[in-house]
Amino acid sequence: MTPSGVDRGGDGARFAELRAAAVALLAAMAAGSLLIILAGASPLEVWRTLVARTFGDAYGAGQVVFRATPLVLTGLAVAVPLRAGLFNIGAEGQMIAAAMCCAVVGAALPAATPALLALPVAMAAAAVAGGAVGAATGALRAYRGAHEVIVAILLNAIIAGVALWLGNQWLFVGEATRTASVVEGARFAELGITGSSASSSVVVALVAAAAVGWLQTRSTIGFRWRMIGGGPDAALAAGISVARDRVSAMAAAGALAGLAGAHFVLGHKHAFEEGLGRGVGFLGVAVALLAQGRAAAIVVSAVLFAALSQGGLGVAELVPKELVDVLQAVVVLVAAATLGRTTSVGGGAR
Amino acid sequence: MMDAVAAVVAFVAALATVTFVEMVVRITVPYLLAALGGAITERAGLVDLALEAKLLFGAFTAAAIAHDTGSIALAIAGAAVAGAAVGAVQALWAIRLGADQIVTGVALNLAAYGLTRYLLQVMYGQGSNSPRIDGIGAKVWSSPLTWLALVLTAVAIVMIARTRLGLRVRAVGERPDATAAAGVSVAGTRLAAVLVGSAIAGVGGAQLSLVVNGFVAEMSSGRGYVALAAVIMGGWRPAWVALVCLGFGAAEAVQVRMQSAGTGLPPELVRLLPYLLALVLLATLRGRGRAPAALGRGA
């Protein structure tokens, strides 16, 4: 069994992965067409509308960029621990904790704080909060043997509840479930693509992808993560502190998911809102899996899933918009099946 | 101080009622059936992260059938079939295609959330819930599901520990190579275990929709994951798993009661009680049980 997206290199493996992605897309379109017919609509019209409403005009394309930005980050948040044989399904909770922390810090800054200072501080707050949640999940796995998937799912629910409590108790202003706005300086500039919500936080996502790509292929910590993913026993025998590096992989993942939270707070809502970014953490799993955990491919994969999400709104008058949720799930299912024996999350059991 | 003690005593005393016991039973059934199903699947060596999908499809199918036929028995049978259908995909993916089991489970759950909402729209033109059905309602002792759950618990315990099939299931989960050498079909045994386990989990879904007389989108709300936590905490042994589920059921019932009693504790936090309990137990109950050796290894 070849574990966890370890680079098997070679054009053959790369071709197999491209083929898997293509097959997954075609299968999703086939399944989607059936569902569309079931709903009494014309598949051709739905697919045409979906493309037209995403890449067909500047607004649609801008919205795809806006939606892809956090997906790149949560995709990376899944990809980094995947290399180390850990499955991070907790990006959702990491993102919420980070968004709340980011909003509080961003609003507490003096109103005149320049962007050069305010943005990094608010982003750091998000990364630290998300990283702490990730590290806690990793530590429960590494030192207490608790299954990281279950722990993360429980933490997702707990964090959502605690955030709501903190908000209701102290942080929400007025009648809305929304915190105070962050200062002017702590806001990502809008890109100004004809009314779309795309903001300069897309730069953060791209830099993060480049950094993760470098970490994975060129750094010693990346090498250690890969070794652990390849086989924890061998890594331990080679003198690698498996427990510590598993925690570090999860902390890095949490920080990346935290930046996705910052995208919503600093680039869109300019505050923490109840339900902010819901589902983006889970979708990151799909993004990372389709991309086989590779940083550059994650950017492409994120754009694809973002286009599906945005397209769902575009076709809502023809078919229920939940169609795209099913399509996204089918893409992951078929990709997992096509890649089959060539890849695995590795140590899936524990 | 005395007031606080008196309040706690009064609260605990108020719990010891028939209605509270009924509430615990009602809440426990979906956890119990999902977790027992999960235990059977995992003992055969497959990671069962798709419990959420089985509960949700089970709940939806039960509601749809009860709506069309008015038959509770058919609704429950339909839920079992829906659960088994999810299990069939899971088994095909894991055993034949060698797909990653965690990924498959997560994707099936995502599909369940999307597809049930989509079907609600297509079938009933409503986005978040089905039309009202004549389900079981708040009945507990005259509910067929209560007794079915009890019987299935006994069946699961006996099947795993005492039957030929159970022995084979345990064997393929521990040492598939040795089991194959002994002439037992690993793929066939795993398929049987997954289908049985998934059908049981699907019946758990029926309890969700039939007691509230309708399907509500995402009504499984994470129970499938908590059930898998119960499987792990119960050490993959059905009797222990059942006890853990009873614990979760009681915790959730206390939580509901605390909210309605207005204890002054914030409701947002009280609602988290089962999750916190699960997390603390997971972190502390180390080494309670051992995972099946071949869990997640694929075919």
User: Among B49, B103, B111, whose Cβ lies nearest the Cβ of A326?
Assistant: B111
pLDDT in tens, A121-132: 999 999 999 999
Distance CA A316, CA A296 (A): 31
**A350 in reach of chain B (CB within 8 A):** yes
Give the per-residue pLDDT at B97: 92
Q: For residue B111, give the CATH number of its domain.
A: 1.10.3470
Interface size A-B, in CB pairs within 8 Å, comes to 154
Q: Is residue B85 part of a domain?
A: yes
Mean pLDDT of chain A: 90
What mean pLDDT is predicted for residues A25-43? 94
Per-residue pLDDT of chain B (299 residues), as tens digits, is 667 777 777 777 777 788 889 999 999 999 999 999 999 999 999 999 999 999 999 999 999 999 999 999 999 999 999 999 999 999 999 999 999 898 899 899 999 999 999 999 999 998 899 999 998 988 889 999 999 999 999 999 999 999 999 999 999 999 999 999 999 999 999 999 999 999 999 999 999 999 999 999 999 988 999 899 899 889 999 999 999 999 999 999 988 888 887 777 888 898 898 889 889 888 887 655 678 888 887 65
Give the per-residue pLDDT at B3: 73
pLDDT class of A342 with cuts at 50, 70, 90? low
pLDDT class of A349 with cuts at 50, 70, 90? very low
pLDDT class of A3 with cuts at 50, 70, 90? very low
Which of the pair, A346 or B42, is modelled with greater confidence?
B42
Give the per-residue pLDDT at B71: 96
Q: Is residue B141 part of a domain?
A: yes
- pLDDT at A159 > cutoff 90: yes
Q: Where along chain A do its domains lie?
A: 10-342
Give the per-residue pLDDT at A1: 36
Give the per-residue pLDDT at B291: 84
- Which residue's entry shows tokens 């049987």? B192
Task: Please state the three-class secondary structure of chain A as a single string.
Answer: CCCCCCCCCHHHHHHHHHHHHHHHHHHHHHHHHHHHHHCCCCHHHHHHHHHHCCCCCHHHHHHHHHHHHHHHHHHHHHHHHHHCCCCCCCHHHHHHHHHHHHHHHHHHCCCCCCHHHHHHHHHHHHHHHHHHHHHHHHHHHHHHCCCHHHHHHHHHHHHHHHHHHHHHHHHECCCCCEECCCCHHHCCCECCCCCCCCECHHHHHHHHHHHHHHHHHHCHHHHHHHHHHHCHHHHHHCCCCHHHHHHHHHHHHHHHHHHHHHHHHHHHHCCCECCCCCCHHHHHHHHHHHCCCCHHHHHHHHHHHHHHHHHHHHCCCCCCCCHHHHHHHHHHHHHHHHHHHHCCCCCCCC
Q: Is residue B26 part of a domain?
A: no
pLDDT in tens, A82-121: 989 999 999 999 999 999 999 999 999 999 999 999 999 9
- Nearest of A332, A250, A149 to residue B49 by alpha carbon: A149
pLDDT in tens, A171-188: 999 888 999 999 999 999
Q: Is residue B103 part of a domain?
A: yes
Give the per-residue pLDDT at A19: 85
Across the interface, do A332 and B103 touch by the CB < 8 Å criterion? Answer: yes
Number of domains in chain B: 1
User: Among A87, A147, A332, whose Cβ lies nearest the Cβ of B232?
Assistant: A147
Question: How far does A329 lie from chain B, in Å, by closest CA?
Answer: 5
pLDDT in tens, A218-256: 999 999 999 999 899 999 999 999 999 999 999 999 999
Q: Is residue B110 part of a domain?
A: yes
pLDDT in tens, B41-67: 999 999 999 999 999 999 999 999 999
**A146, amino acid identity:** A
Residue in A with minimal Cα distance to B230: A150
What mean pLDDT is predicted for residues A35-61? 93
Task: Please state the three-class secondary structure of chain B as a single string.
Answer: CHHHHHHHHHHHHHHCCHHHHHHHHHHHHHHHHHHHHHHHHHHCCCCCCCHHHHHHHHHHHHHHHHHHHCCHHHHHHHHHHHHHHHHHHHHHHHHHCCCCHHHHHHHHHHHHHHHHHHHHHHHHCCCCECCCCCCCCCCCCCCHHHHHHHHHHHHHHHHHHHCHHHHHHHHHHHCHHHHHHCCCCHHHHHHHHHHHHHHHHHHHHHHHHHHCCCCECCCCCCHHHHHHHHHHHCCCCHHHHHHHHHHHHHHHHHHHHHHHHCCCCCHHHHCCHHHHHHHHHHHHCCCCCCCCCCCCCCC
- Topology of domain A10-342, per CATH? ABC transporter involved in vitamin B12 uptake, BtuC (1.10.3470)
Percent of chain A scoring above 90 in pLDDT: 75
Q: Is residue B205 part of a domain?
A: yes
User: Among B99, B275, B278, whose Cβ lies nearest the Cβ of A336?
Assistant: B99
Give the per-residue pLDDT at B286: 60
Across the interface, do A144 and B286 touch by the CB < 8 Å criterion? Answer: yes
Give the per-residue pLDDT at A8: 46
Residue in A with minimal Cα distance to B233: A146
**A300 in reach of chain B (CB within 8 A):** no
- pLDDT at A73 > cutoff 50: yes
